Chains A and B, each alone.
Chain A
Amino acid sequence: MYKLLLCLRYLRTRWIALASIISVTLGVATLIVVNSVMQGFTGEMKNRIKGTISDLMLESCSLSGMYDFDAHAERIMQVAGDRIEALSPMVAIQAMLYLRNGENTIVMPVDLVGIDERTQSKVSDFGKFLQHPANRRAMSFLLHEDGYDVRDHQAGDEAPPREPMAGAGWKHRREMARFREFQEKYLQRRQPQSAPPPESSTPPLSAPTRDPFAGRLPEEEINRFDPAAEQHAGIVLGMAMASFRTSDGVDHFRVLPGDDVKLTTVTVGQPPKDTSDNFTIVDFYESKMSEYDSKFVFVPIRKLQKMRGMWDPTTGVGWINAIQIKLKPGADGEAVRDLLRAAFSPRDYVVSTWRDKQGALLSAVDMETRILNILLFMIIAVAGFGILAIFYMIVVEKTRDIGILKSLGASSRGVMGIFLGYGLSLGAVGSGAGLVIGLLFVRYINEIADFIAWATGQPVFDPSIYYFYEIPAVVLPWTVFWIVCGALAIAVLASILPARRAARLHPVEALRYE
Chain B
Amino acid sequence: MSSSTGVRGQGPGTRGRRSEVKGQGTEVDYLVTSESRIPEPRTPNPESQIPKSPNPRTQDQLRATNIHKSYHKGPVEVPVLRGVDMEVRRGEFLSIVGQSGCGKSTLLHLLGTLDAPDRGEIHYDGRRIDNLPAAERDRLRNHQFGMIFQFYHLLPELNTLENVLAPLMIRHGTWSYLARRRQFKCKAKELLEMVGLGHRLKHRPRELSGGEMQRAAIARALVTKPCLLLADEPTGNLDTSTGEEIIHILRDLNDRRNLTIVMVTHDRSIARQADRIVRLVEGRIAE
Contacts and interface: CB of A to CB of B under 8 A. Distances in A.
A409 B132 CA distance: 14
A2 B153 contact: no
Given A10-B157, A13-B157, A401-B155, A406 B169 contact: no
A134 to B, nearest CB: 70
B67 to A, nearest CB: 14
A9 B114 contact: no
A511 interface: yes
B15 interface: no
Interface string A9-31: 11001000000000000000000
Given A408-B166, A408-B170, A1 B177 contact: yes
A371 B182 CA distance: 55
Contact of B112 (A5, A400, A407, A412): A407
Contacts of A6: 155, 157-158
- Closest CB pairs A-B (n = 10): A409-B142, A2-B169, A9-B157, A1-B169, A1-B177, A409-B141, A404-B153, A507-B114, A411-B138, A1-B174
B158 A405 contact: no
5 contacts: A1-B177, A6-B157, A408-B220, A409-B142, A409-B167
B190 interface: no
Contact of B141 (A4, A408, A506, A508): A408
Interface in B127-174: 134-135, 138-143, 147, 149, 153-158, 162, 166-167, 169-174
Given A1-B173, A410-B142, A411-B135, 17 more contacts: A1-B169, A1-B178, A9-B157, A9-B158, A404-B153, A405-B155, A405-B170, A407-B149, A407-B153, A409-B139, A409-B143, A409-B167, A409-B170, A409-B171, A412-B134, A507-B109, A511-B153
B115 A5 contact: no
A414 interface: yes
A403 interface: yes
B109 A508 contact: yes
A403 B171 CA distance: 16
Given A507-B114, A511-B114, A4 B174 contact: yes
A400 B158 contact: no
Contacts of A4: 174
Contacts of B149: 407, 511
Nearest to A510: B114
Contacts of A409: 138-143, 167, 170-171
B224 to A, nearest CB: 8
A403 B112 CA distance: 13
Nearest to B109: A508
A411 B134 contact: yes
Contacts of A1: 169-170, 172-174, 177-178
Contacts of A13: 157
Nearest to A404: B153
Nearest to A8: B157
B70 to A, nearest CB: 13
Interface of A: 1-2, 4-6, 9-10, 13, 400-401, 403-412, 414, 506-508, 511
The interface centre, meaning the residue of A401, A407, A411 with most chain B CB atoms within 10 A of its CB, is A407
The interface centre, meaning the residue of A2, A408, A508 with most chain B CB atoms within 10 A of its CB, is A408
Contacts of B169: 1-2, 5
A4 B178 CA distance: 12
Nearest to A410: B170
A452 B163 CA distance: 52
B166 A2 contact: yes
A409 B106 CA distance: 18
Contact of B115 (A405, A412, A506): A506
A410 B174 contact: no
A172 B115 CA distance: 99
A403 B115 contact: no
A393 B112 CA distance: 29
Contacts of B135: 411
A5 B162 contact: yes
A10 B173 CA distance: 20
A409 B115 CA distance: 13
Given A409-B139, A411-B134, A508-B109, A2 B114 contact: no
B109 A2 contact: no
Given A403-B153, A409-B141, A508 B115 contact: yes
A167 B155 CA distance: 81
Contacts of B155: 6, 401, 404-405
B126 to A, nearest CB: 21
A16 to B, nearest CB: 14
A407 B217 CA distance: 12
A403 B154 CA distance: 11
A399 to B, nearest CB: 12
A310 B283 CA distance: 113
Contacts of B143: 409
A4 B177 CA distance: 12
B170 A414 contact: yes
B115 to A, nearest CB: 5
Contacts of B114: 406-407, 507-508, 511
B283 to A, nearest CB: 16
Contacts of B115: 506-508
Nearest to B162: A5
Contacts of B167: 408-409
Contacts of B154: 404
Contacts of A508: 106, 109, 114-115
